[in-house]
Amino acid sequence: MFGIIGGTGLASLRELKVLKRELIRTPYGEPSQPLIFGTLAKHEVVFLARHGSGHTIPPHEINYRANIWALQSVGVTRIISVATVGVIDDEVKPGTICIPDQIIDYTYGRKNTYFDGAGMPVKHIDFTHPYDEPLRKVIIHSAESISKKIVSEGVYAAVQGPRLETAAEINRLEKDGANIVGMTGMPEAILAKELNLAYAAICPMVNHAAGRGQSKNAISFSSMSEASDSDVYRLMMKDVIELIQAIISKN
């Protein structure tokens, strides 16, 4: 069964026919909200808003371990994560979706493994390819099948937040090889891998990163917020939902 983790701009899925809501308790505490079970494109899926139902949990305070654990405990085997990002290349127009294939992790102080605590054996997980390649292919082919233009690879820089970056930090991320920057991609990806779940991300590029393109002087908050009346934002989220429906209906 597919699990969908929604981020900013996707705190709920109107297209989901809700069957039930269930608060799951895990050894790591409670997830961001009760899991929402429902049908989408006639298939059963589970939805979770990572920032909570009222968008009140900031990226560094999300209980990522509880979220991923809860999804696995109810039978989710594949996770589609929706996570908005800033785009570093100022030639790329915000409003496009990126399906990243790599991650650089700059976060700190987050609980980023299930393999710790008293009596737990040390375990090192291979993370060469952080996203599940078959699931990435499913997403890319689904986008093709509905003629949605997407960027089919990219290096995701996972930053701590909640503040945005300085222009110099973005220059550094670019030198490191990053293309997009967001605050929630880690440790979600590694935790899913530790639990043997297929995990891939759909990243709507909602703004130019700090100092780039339209964000030369500042990042406009309206471009980043769910309450945004920006057409680009609304159309992009519509694209994201159509893409998710295409993925679910054919797989």
Give residues in contact with ligand HPA (CB under 6 A): 84-86, 159, 164-165, 181-183, 206-207, 209, 219, 224
**How far apart are CB 164 and ligand HPA at their closest, in Å?**
5
Cα–Cα distance between 94 and 87 in angstroms, integer?
7
Residue 184 or 245 having the CB closest to ligand HPA? 184
**How far apart are CB 91 and ligand HPA at their closest, in Å?**
16
* CB half-sphere exposure, 44, CA atoms < 13 A: 9
- Among residues 20, 10, 41, the alpha carbon closest in space to that of 247 is found at 41
Residue 151 or 183 having the CB closest to ligand HPA? 183
Cα–Cα distance between 97 and 69 in angstroms, integer?
27
Residue 209 or 244 having the CB closest to ligand HPA? 209
**How far apart are CB 72 and ligand HPA at their closest, in Å?**
26
Cα–Cα distance between 35 and 33 in angstroms, integer?
6
R_g over Cα of the chain = 17
Parallel, antiparallel, or unpaired: how do β-strands 198-208 and 78-82 relate? parallel
Question: Residue number with the shortest CB distance to ligand HPA?
Answer: 86
**How far apart are CB 94 and ligand HPA at their closest, in Å?**
9
Residue 84 or 142 having the CB closest to ligand HPA? 84
